[in-house]
Amino acid sequence: MKAFASILVVVLGAVLLHASKDFPLLGDAMSPANNHPVARHYIEETVNDTHVRNLVTAVLADYRGYDTMFETVVVFVAGIGILAVIGVPTARIRQNENLGSTRQFGVDSDLIILQTCRLIVPVLQLFALYVIAHGHHSPGGGFQGGVLFGASYILLALSGGLREALRRLSESLSFRLAAFGIVLYAGVGLLSMALGGNFLDYAVLDRLLPGDVAMARSHSMLIVEAGVGFTVTTILFVIYANLATRGNLEDGL
Amino acid sequence: MDLLEYILGKSNYWASIVLMMIGLHAMISKNNLIKKLIGMSVFQTAIILFYVSSSAKRGAKIPIIHPHGDHADKADHAAEAGHHAADAVHHAIDATAYENPLPHVLMLTAIVVGVATLGLALAMVQKVYAAYGSIEEDEVLAAIAEATANGASISMPSPSDSPAQGDVSPS
């Protein structure tokens, strides 16, 4: 198997290296990918269409809204899949009973680690909210902010124990919030259908939202990004909590 | 000089191809399931680097439009008028001045979905370890062959076995 893998890799690598001589040079503004009408349209028209300066956010949440919505669904389904594969059903019943127990925050943690993480976690969560909310004008958006927010709960679990983190964001609440994020995203799409547009056609929402058509698209993108943020945050935490404890949600790592 | 330019212009493709082959080799030849997953992640990273490098334009800025000629930013704009006076005259945005946003969007979602699916894959590996006591591929295959030869169903640890305390009666 090793010999077969080496031969395959060498041959395939040689073919690909040979093919790379037909590729455009790095940084070529006239390359087919960069000079495509769609790519040019995104750069030239986005600000007129949506008033959003961060083109990545605009393309992600508006022009390619279908793609992003179902990517979010994939993240949600991955969370459900982890629960189905390694989740221990009885652990969930017991965990709900134990949640009320009074346990000191991070009794078995080192003092320095505990106090440092206590300082970092709120700042990290605030920054995550900023990244989601300011994604229209600076690097950021729902995925990035969601990952940061999820990381703050993982940090809490690492420093103060998983039980403490689960007391603040339980698994059932996580899944409810994750589903809420997708419902929020799809709800914006269905609302625009109800108002006579296409699915996720934010332009028709200008009857409900303040500002002109472009501002309506900008505001709808914020709602949609918040939905993405809910799902990514909670599913990331669920993935950590289940993998770290083999699905029984007792104190693992 | 031409040769150097050529090498620099193609180096991004060569780097992604080398990374991709490292990942592919690990996925095929490694026996350990975790190492296979590491190979898959390396492969995925190679694809991401390939896409992102294809969006680069020489001298272009990140795809966030600078607020030129915006009324709200007049004061801000005046401060750097020396640099941008020419740009402010025409409002149309020059497509070559900003990087192509489309590959960034595609890879942004791919990274997060990659994390979620990697988590699912790790969960499956944990389940395989719980069932067969090994994550080496040949040992797992041998265990499966043995179980099917004996005609017995594969003994999966039932969920109620895992908690040591035994039954829990929800009251």
Model pLDDT, residue B78 = 44
Model pLDDT, residue B88 = 43
Distance from CA of B145 to the nearest CA of A (A): 20
Give the model's confidence band at B162: pLDDT under 50 very low, under 70 low, under 90 confident, else very high: very low
Model pLDDT, residue A108 = 62
* pLDDT per position as a tens digit, A82-139: 999 988 776 666 666 555 444 555 556 678 888 888 899 999 999 999 999 998 888 8
Q: Which of A40-44, A148-152, A226-230, B151-155 is the least confident region?
A: B151-155
* pLDDT per position as a tens digit, A194-253: 998 889 888 888 888 888 888 889 899 999 999 999 999 999 999 999 998 887 777 655
- Residue A21 in domain: no
- Residue A197 in domain: yes
Residues in chain B within 8 Å Cβ distance of A239: 115-116, 119
Helix (H) or strand (E) holding A192: helix A171-194
* pLDDT per position as a tens digit, B78-130: 444 444 444 444 467 787 888 889 999 999 989 988 999 999 999 999 999 98
- Residue from B104, B109, B117 to probe the interface with A (highest A Cβ count within 10 Å): B109
Q: Give me the domain span that covers residue A211.
A: 56-245
Tokens of A137: 């004008």
- Residue B74 in domain: no
- Residue A45 in domain: no
Residue A226 sits at the vertex; the CA angle it makes with A221 and A230, to the nearest 5 degrees, is: 150
Q: How many domains does chain B have?
A: 1
- Residue B170 in domain: no
Q: What is the CATH number of the domain that holds B135?
A: 1.10.287.3510
- Residue A178 in domain: yes
- Residue B87 in domain: no
- Residue B83 in domain: no
Tell me the residue type at A64: R
Model pLDDT, residue A15 = 94
Model pLDDT, residue B164 = 41
Question: What is the mean pLDDT of the segment spanning A56-79?
Answer: 92
CB-based contact A253:A158 (threshold 8 Å): yes
Residues in chain A within 8 Å Cβ distance of B127: 85-86
* pLDDT per position as a tens digit, A150-179: 999 999 988 888 888 888 888 889 999 999
- Residue B81 in domain: no
Residue with token string 């790790």: B122
Q: How many domains does chain A have?
A: 1
A78/B117 touch (CB, cutoff 8 Å), yes or no: yes
Q: Give me the domain span that covers residue B126.
A: 1-58+98-152
